Structure 1
Amino acid sequence: MWSWIAALLAGILSAHLAQRLWFPYFCKDALFLTRVIRYGARLEIYKRTSRVVTVVDRFVQQAQRIPDKAFLIYEGVTYTYGELEERSNRVARVFKDAVKEGDTVALLMSNEPDFLSVWFGLCKLGCAVAFLNTNIRSRSLLHCFRCCGAELLVVGADLLETLEDILPSLQQDGITVWCMRRDSPRPGVHSLLDQMQKASREPVPAERRSVRCLRTPTLYIFTSGTTGATCVLKKKFSASQFWHDCRKHNVTIFQYIGELCRYLCNQPMVENEKDHRVHMGVGNGLRQDVWREFLRRFGDIRMCEIYGSTEGNLCFMNHIGKIGAVGRSNFFYKLIFKYDLVKYDLVREEPVRDHSGFCQHVQKGETGLLLSKICSQSPFFGYAGSKQLTEKKILRDVFVKGDAYFNTGDLMAEDEDDFICFRDRVGDTFRWKGENVATTEVTEILGLVDFIQEANVYGVQVPGNEGRAGMAAVIVRPECRFDGKKLFSHVLRELPSYARPLFIRLQESLEMTSTFKQQKFSLVESGFDPCSISEPLFFLDCTEKSYIPLTSSIYDSIVSGQKKV
């Protein structure tokens, strides 16, 4: 009897040791996979029913359950679930007769409580809401607005001046503009706050916000439900005040982008850095070196790195917490999400195909382009207002004739333990200051300058900084000369700060690929070092309000971190 029990215990111990040795992440993987399957099953149930539960539905449920619970803390003021519910009802009442179910309304507002009031109120009327980037201006802003197909725009009082250049165009297009003020600031712009004050706080019929299928658009973003938690919201991020705010409001979880964590690490060290209740950070773009320094400085905080995009059909999550990885995969995960890493030609800027015309898999540890199969389980719905851009993100005949994959535009590597690490971004976008920069858009803006004949925009790495800084190789028209002050004024007016090229490289001609695309690879590789580049280089100097010659001393101050970019 005892020998049988001893043998059983020995077997269990051996199995446990074998699992720890050969499958060290089995338990965590199994737990994570169970959650994925549970949420997937819930989505399938939603697909088969006529009613889909949205973020607003969950918010309304919570407002009824815990009306007096703090929902939002903003600039020292607490807003309860019930208060925000009533305020969003007032918004819905104001717009009840102005919009109909299925309409799209654009929202241009900074971080503030009424951002949520307006968003939720419009959703209660069955409208899709398009969040416009508050950093963009002029033509870029008008382009984003027209892409979402909205006929009504709500703008924050602090952002009304950003419409100065495009307001005539909006009014010419028949767009109705509402501003978060108590009085109308100018002809053709309606005031919203005074109308909200007059409106009833009673809810509109729930049928108005009914979402009948998962394909129904409820939100457009130009670059999960509520759980009963409290959110601390700041108008703008402050590295010097971050930990003070966390301690003041007993914050336990925060959301980040990699750049945010770097800013925190760059702050002077103080004695009570680990004196807080934060135990988790959720976000993306956290560099390995910054990750290690962040944990060393601020304590044992679990950083949950995620990978995904609004329009994409694939996501990863580093549920293990391995430093430097954006996610983890395994056999079962690959059964659910069909993705592949394929060989990519950096010079031709396209996937490598074999003699049969199909893409080639990379080996473990090799860097490849991340593709995600488009199927019923993981559909790709495309971009609002741009069929051409949607088609551009689809690769066809990848492994067999007729298949289709979503091209993420990201180079990844998967190691022997199935951890996935981000390597670089390719194609027509790069990231700088936590924002996506569209090279085609910047190129178009530069092309409006009278002395620029042609431009090729790309991103270059700057030591000590996340992502890539904007750089443009340009050809100056034969009869003109380069004017740094004029170019500075132009990009300042037309582009948000993160999209303005920091460096300009003058060239006699732009190199092209064999398929007649602008060649970026060699330009990216050569960077912005004036000692290795014979052509004239210029640097965006905000003090001089001009693009000034990039000298060796300026270059050294940038790479050493002495000059902030």
Structure 2
Amino acid sequence: MGWETVLYSVLAGVVTAPLLIKLFYPHFYTDARFILKTLPIVKLEKNIKNNVSVISRFIQQAAARPDRTFLRFQEETHTYRQMDQWSNRVGNFFHSRGLGAGETFAIFMLNEPAYLAVFLGLSKLGMTTAMLNHNLRSKSLLHCFNVSGAKNLVVGKDEVLRSAILEILPELQQQGVTVWVMGDQVQENGLLPLVDEIEAASNAPIPEELRSGIRMTDIIAYIYTSGTTGLPKAAKVSYGRMVYASMFLVLCGVTEDDVVYTALPLYHSAALCIGLAGAIETGCTWVLRQKFSASRFWDDCRKYNVTVVQYIGELLRYLCAQPKRADDKDNQVWAAVGNGLRPEIWTEFQERFNVKDIMEFYAATEGNVGFVNVLQKFGAVGYASPLMRKLRPCNFVKYDVATGEPIRDENGWCIETKPGENGLVIAPITKKTFFDGYAGKKALSDKKVLRDVFKKGDGYFNSGDVLFMDTEYFVYFVDRLGDTFRWKGENVATTEVSQVLSEYEPIQEANVYGVKIPGYDGRAGMASIIVRPDQSLDLPALYEHVTQYLPSYAVPRFLRLGQAIDVTGTFKQKKVDAVEEGFDPQQVIDPLYLMDGSGKTYRPLDLDLYQRIIKGEVTVN
């Protein structure tokens, strides 16, 4: 064969190869791009295999870049060395008190540098930390503390936090719980001051042998997530799960030269697992804000030279709702990373604030399935081609809209959806795609596991979320099933709200669900309530009751006063029809009410008020 023949054969191959690939493997190039973008996962897998935790990475980073700024908070600046030494003092102090690996310590604080010092210091001892939601009060707060099994609690210096703890202090003291306060006040009501104790402790490195028995399957933290049991559940966050989360910023292209801004609460996995752990893994500078402020957001970004911001969908909507300013584009932010962003806000945010990249993702604190939109597909949360689902298994199955349960065929197996259909996302529970579950009764975790899905004896994590996969295998979030809905970036458990409503004497029964409002992310809480025949409803008193015993985001925005609540044959409350009717007076014959924060009551909702809400003339906060 002459060289001309060989040359022609090569050229023919070069010409026809793309055509053959397009014909027989149409998404080859997309797969290749995705794999190249996600190559850092190789390092992640190596860290997990070698038992290199986020705490190990922090110690390594502090040794490698001691004088680099690690944290900025208000006017405070802390280098990697300073935070390392501060957390050492925390660890050494509590070690001197006899605490160590295998024990749980609860944290009830607002965002502040001391929160990080406590978390890192306790983790250096191999302890598990329970991240209590600082919005919780009364029974919910006590429940969350108790389910963690902790015998020590550290409380932030803010008076509102101390007041919340004093309310449940008698119960804590009966259980022999030691309560520490991050303040310099003298001992009060059994609360022990902690600041001076930590300042006096040694900043010597915590001996590695104190945590040498820790493995990737052990629990580093409990993060509370709402469920269908009525009260928040403590999701187990293993060391391995934290390592996986720490790579998210890496996948988004964040490097040590970036400055990442987080205005989300540290009791959430977004701030703790993606923000803090991600900052540690990349070695970047992390800017933490105590509480999100839409009016101060971009001023902060300019002040701290922020290059990457974290978000939840509501956060970006609040920014876009702010009055336009001449300096809207005057920032160095090149990427926003997070989840829950609506497509219409996506474009508006990028164009108005000149942010180049939106890195949307899908995940759950306790889940074993996740997607990352590293390919920058507009509106998507990620990519799930057949090859990607082989590498990181997950499935999309048909489900019953009324019950939220998977639909099964005549043989009892779940039915997979096709591209172009909505599907309930599930994932097999394996050593690689593990499900840590929840603290407490085993039944809590078992409820999230589907059995005998595609074959006898298999087990799959049920995300409870509906996603849409298009014909190009890009994935989009659709909705959340079951008794939990999302409002203001928080998961609201309908049964918890129902329980609090039922504790108000005039209410006989309450059915709680989320309703859509045009222009808002998530769903606003609505309660269909039945008043006892011999009672009357005092709306200001009801407002006072729900705002006292529920976190602000869980307080129902709408009320519906009915005569009876529809139930199924097994006496489960029906919600599908009520959700579809929403708060439209033209569809609902029952009296409707809207929460009035300024008047501290609920006011009647007529057709005129309804239309003003729909048009955006009245805000539902």
1:327 deviates by 1.2
Matches within 5 A, 1:138-157: 138-157=138-157
1:14 deviates by 5.3
- The alignment partner of 1:157 has SS state of coil
Q: What amino acid is the match of 1:101?
A: A
The answer for the alignment partner of 1:49 in structure 2 is none
Contact map agreement 2:333 2:355 (CA 8 A) in 1: no
Matches within 5 A, 1:418-433: 418-433=473-488
Judged with a 3 Å threshold, the aligned counterparts in structure 2 of structure 1 residues 338 and 513 are, in CA distance, closer, same or farther, namely farther
Deviates more, 1:24-33 or 1:236-245: 24-33
Q: 1:228 aligns with which of 283, 288, 299?
A: 283
- The alignment partner of 1:344 has SS state of coil
- The alignment partner of 2:219 has SS state of coil
The answer for the alignment partner of 1:543 in structure 2 is 598
The answer for the alignment partner of 1:57 in structure 2 is 56
In the alignment, does 2:128 pair up with 1:128?
A: yes
In the alignment, does 2:496 pair up with 1:441?
A: yes
Deviation sequence 1:376-410 (CA, Å, 0-9, x none) = 32121211123222111111122222221111110
The answer for the alignment partner of 2:83 in structure 1 is 84
In the alignment, does 2:409 pair up with 1:347?
A: no
Q: What amino acid is the match of 2:102?
A: G
In the alignment, does 2:336 pair up with 1:334?
A: no
Deviation sequence 1:477-506 (CA, Å, 0-9, x none) = 121122211210111110111000111112
Matches within 5 A, 1:293-442: 293-442=348-497
Contact map agreement 2:307 2:332 (CA 8 A) in 1: yes
1:262 deviates by 0.7
1:433 deviates by 0.2
Q: What amino acid is the match of 2:35?
A: A
Q: Distance in 1 between matches of 2:547 and 2:297?
A: 29
- The alignment partner of 2:192 has SS state of strand
Contact map agreement 1:19 1:26 (CA 8 A) in 2: no
Q: Distance in 2 between matches of 1:528 and 1:252?
A: 41
Deviates more, 1:82-91 or 1:338-347: 338-347
- The alignment partner of 2:475 has SS state of strand
In the alignment, does 2:83 pair up with 1:28?
A: no
The answer for the alignment partner of 1:219 in structure 2 is 221
Deviation sequence 1:256-275 (CA, Å, 0-9, x none) = 11111111111222233223
Deviation sequence 1:496-530 (CA, Å, 0-9, x none) = 11000111112222111234321111110000012
The answer for the alignment partner of 1:505 in structure 2 is 560
The answer for the alignment partner of 2:511 in structure 1 is 456
In the alignment, does 2:98 pair up with 1:93?
A: no
Contact map agreement 2:510 2:527 (CA 8 A) in 1: yes
Q: What amino acid is the match of 2:70?
A: F
Contact map agreement 1:255 1:283 (CA 8 A) in 2: yes
Q: Distance in 2 between matches of 1:200 and 1:40?
A: 35
Q: Distance in 1 between matches of 2:589 and 2:554?
A: 25
Q: What amino acid is the match of 1:560?
A: K
Q: What amino acid is the match of 1:147?
A: V
Q: Distance in 1 between matches of 2:466 and 2:204?
A: 51
Judged with a 3 Å threshold, the aligned counterparts in structure 2 of structure 1 residues 228 and 338 are, in CA distance, closer, same or farther, namely closer
The root-mean-square deviation of aligned C-alpha atoms, in Å, is 2.0
Q: 1:266 aligns with which of 311, 321, 331?
A: 321
Deviation sequence 1:269-301 (CA, Å, 0-9, x none) = 223322322111211101111111111212252
Deviates more, 1:487-496 or 1:508-517: 508-517
Q: 1:180 aligns with which of 163, 182, 198?
A: 182
Q: 1:206 aligns with which of 205, 208, 226?
A: 208
In the alignment, does 2:578 pair up with 1:523?
A: yes
1:42 deviates by 4.2
The answer for the alignment partner of 2:346 in structure 1 is 291
In the alignment, does 2:490 pair up with 1:488?
A: no
Judged with a 3 Å threshold, the aligned counterparts in structure 2 of structure 1 residues 326 and 72 are, in CA distance, closer, same or farther, namely same
Q: Distance in 2 between matches of 1:559 and 1:488?
A: 23
Contact map agreement 1:147 1:386 (CA 8 A) in 2: no
TM-score, normalisation: structure 2: 0.86
1:141 deviates by 1.0
Deviation sequence 1:139-169 (CA, Å, 0-9, x none) = 1111111111111100101121222321211
Contact map agreement 2:337 2:359 (CA 8 A) in 1: yes
Gap regions ≥5 residues in structure 2: 226-245, 247-276
Q: Distance in 2 between matches of 1:201 and 1:439?
A: 46
Deviates more, 1:334-343 or 1:318-327: 334-343
Q: What amino acid is the match of 2:174?
A: Q
1:357 deviates by 2.3
Q: 2:197 aligns with which of 195, 198, 212?
A: 195
Judged with a 3 Å threshold, the aligned counterparts in structure 2 of structure 1 residues 124 and 36 are, in CA distance, closer, same or farther, namely closer
Judged with a 3 Å threshold, the aligned counterparts in structure 2 of structure 1 residues 211 and 462 are, in CA distance, closer, same or farther, namely farther
Judged with a 3 Å threshold, the aligned counterparts in structure 2 of structure 1 residues 156 and 18 are, in CA distance, closer, same or farther, namely farther
Contact map agreement 1:410 1:426 (CA 8 A) in 2: yes
Q: Distance in 1 between matches of 2:485 and 2:542?
A: 22
Q: What amino acid is the match of 1:195?
A: E
Deviates more, 1:263-272 or 1:410-419: 263-272
The answer for the alignment partner of 2:234 in structure 1 is none
Q: What amino acid is the match of 1:85?
A: D
Judged with a 3 Å threshold, the aligned counterparts in structure 2 of structure 1 residues 266 and 20 are, in CA distance, closer, same or farther, namely farther
- The alignment partner of 2:179 has SS state of strand
Q: Distance in 2 between matches of 1:554 and 1:130?
A: 43
Judged with a 3 Å threshold, the aligned counterparts in structure 2 of structure 1 residues 302 and 183 are, in CA distance, closer, same or farther, namely same
- The alignment partner of 2:167 has SS state of coil
Judged with a 3 Å threshold, the aligned counterparts in structure 2 of structure 1 residues 450 and 236 are, in CA distance, closer, same or farther, namely same
Judged with a 3 Å threshold, the aligned counterparts in structure 2 of structure 1 residues 516 and 401 are, in CA distance, closer, same or farther, namely farther
Deviation sequence 1:222-242 (CA, Å, 0-9, x none) = 132412210111111122222
Deviation sequence 1:429-459 (CA, Å, 0-9, x none) = 1100001111111111111111111111110
TM-score, normalisation: structure 1: 0.94
Q: What amino acid is the match of 1:56?
A: I
Q: Distance in 1 between matches of 2:375 and 2:313?
A: 18
The answer for the alignment partner of 2:118 in structure 1 is 118
Q: What amino acid is the match of 1:378?
A: T
- The alignment partner of 1:417 has SS state of coil
